[in-house]
Structure 1
Amino acid sequence: MSLKKWAYGIKGKVKIAAVLGGVLSLLLWSNLMDRKRVTQLQTSFSAIYEDRLMVESFIFDLSSILHEREQLIITSLSSKELNDASKAHLKALDSKMMTIVDDYEATRFTDLEKRVFLEFKELIPSISQMGYNLQENDLAQTNKTLTHKGLSKLTVLSNIQTSEGQRLWEETKAIMLQKQSSSQFEIISLIALAIMIQVLLFSSTSVFKKIQQKPHLN
């Protein structure tokens, strides 16, 4: 009888071990997925901040520079004079514009964004040369045309930041929802594990009681 009891005990322990192993494997897999999702969240938030919000501030600053540059040239044409202070101001604006463009270029681009950015960048040499010679033919019209083209490109780039920011935010919400579902799965797995262990333990106890019964009592 003791041999049968031992056999049934081993069988029950194997069942419990199998259940534990299966559930722990699922929990380990869920934990690994959670770590992966945390990394994805960090990447997504980094992209939203560095490649979208920061770039939006670059675009705003570039737009401000173009407007300021345009107005300075208009004022100089009206007074028919570009004094040393105005020349220094133009140079400072041009230098600031190039610094911002370099910072912008260091961020990650979508295919469309890269194409529009390069189109804007191609305008910069012409914009930077403009205004230092007030005797230039059609300077007023050139000033207006180039400024309008630059601002149009920046508007397109700004719209791209909005759409890409929205896309990244939707991805972030999806990852957060998956993480929430994973946490719920872990809780349910632990509850199921506890229930299954209790069932196996009660089942083993019931078997032991039947084995311990004496033949003359049946």
Structure 2
Amino acid sequence: MHFSYFVQQKLKLASAIAIILVIVLINNRWENNNINELGETFGSVYKDRLVVENYIFKLASATHEKKYLLTQYKVKQSSEIKSEIASINTEIDFLLKDYQTTFLTVGEQQVFKNLLRNNDQLRAIEENPELEIAHLNSLYDKNIIMLNKLSKIQMKEGEALYKNSRSIVTSNASLSYLELGLLIILGLITQALIFNSKSIRGSLRKDNNNLPLN
């Protein structure tokens, strides 16, 4: 009976060890997924937010530059101004193309479509800018307003990504403490198994010594 009891206890401890090992493995897998998600979050912050913010800044600068050229009609020839505007438009086209390759939220897509539509109107009028300077200025101002909206979206989305990354870090810290606790329990169970094994061997020797001699 004594031996059977110790065997039962060892089986229980072994089962506990198996359960803890499974939990540790699952926990480790979860931590790896969190790390991968954190990497994707930082990648999105750079590619879809910081880089896009740079595009917005350059688009705004190009728009201000074209607006400034409208004030130069009295000191520059029309053909020269048109040439400079065309050069700026080439740069804008590259920026808009790069912008479209990034991840766009639903709200960002709508503002961006309006921006493209506004640019189409600008291109048509810029063929004879001296005839519609007031209208051009109005469209340039509209461009700036939409670019400001896009910039605010970048800030909002960047803040959301920051909060998500903090949540992942906090979650990983909690999982690390859990894993540490489980490993400590595993160590205690291992010690208990060793102690029980010694107790069994001691008990068996004692029983053998008490056996009657033939």
Query: Same fold per TM (> 0.5)?
Result: yes
State the identity %: 26
Deviation of 1:146 after TM superposition, in Å, equals: 0.5
- Corresponding residue number in structure 1 for 2:151: 158
Q: 1:155 to 1:135 in 2, by over 3 A?
A: closer
Q: What corresponds to 2:75 in structure 1? A: 79
Residue number among 122, 127, 137 corresponding to 1:127 in the alignment: 122
Distance 2:200 2:129 in 1: 104
| CA contact 2:52–2:99 (8 Å) conserved in 1 | yes
Unaligned runs of 5+ in 1: none
Match of 1:96 among 70, 91, 98: 91
* Contact persistence 2:62–2:92 (CA under 8 A): yes
Tell me how far 1:74 sits from its aligned partner: 1.6
Alignment: residue pair count = 209
Cα distance, 1:64 vs. partner? Answer: 0.2
Equivalence for 1:28: 25
**Partner letter of residue 182 of structure 1?**
L
- Aligned pairs for 1:50-199 within 5 A: 50-76=47-73, 78-79=74-75, 81-84=77-80, 86-136=81-131, 139-199=132-192
* 2-structure distance, mates of 1:171, 1:148: 35
Deviations 1:133-184 (A, max 9, x none): 2442xx2211210111000000000000001100000000100111111111
Distance in structure 2 (CA, Å) of the matches to 1:170 and 1:159: 17
1:42 equivalent to 2:39? Answer: yes
Cα 1:12–1:205 change in 2 (3 A) is: farther
**Distance apart, 1:87 and its partner CA:** 2.8
Structure 1 residue runs of 4+, over 3 Å off? 7-13, 129-132, 203-211, 213-216
Q: What is the RMSD of the two structures over their aligned residues, measured on CA atoms?
A: 2.2
Q: 1:134 to 1:173 in 2, by over 3 A?
A: closer
Alignment-mate amino acid for residue 160 of structure 1: I
SS in 1 for 2:78: coil
Which stretches in structure 2 are left out of the alignment for 5+ residues?
none
Instruction: Please give the alpha-carbon distance, in whole angstroms, between the structure 1 residues aligned to 2:129 and 2:103.
Output: 39
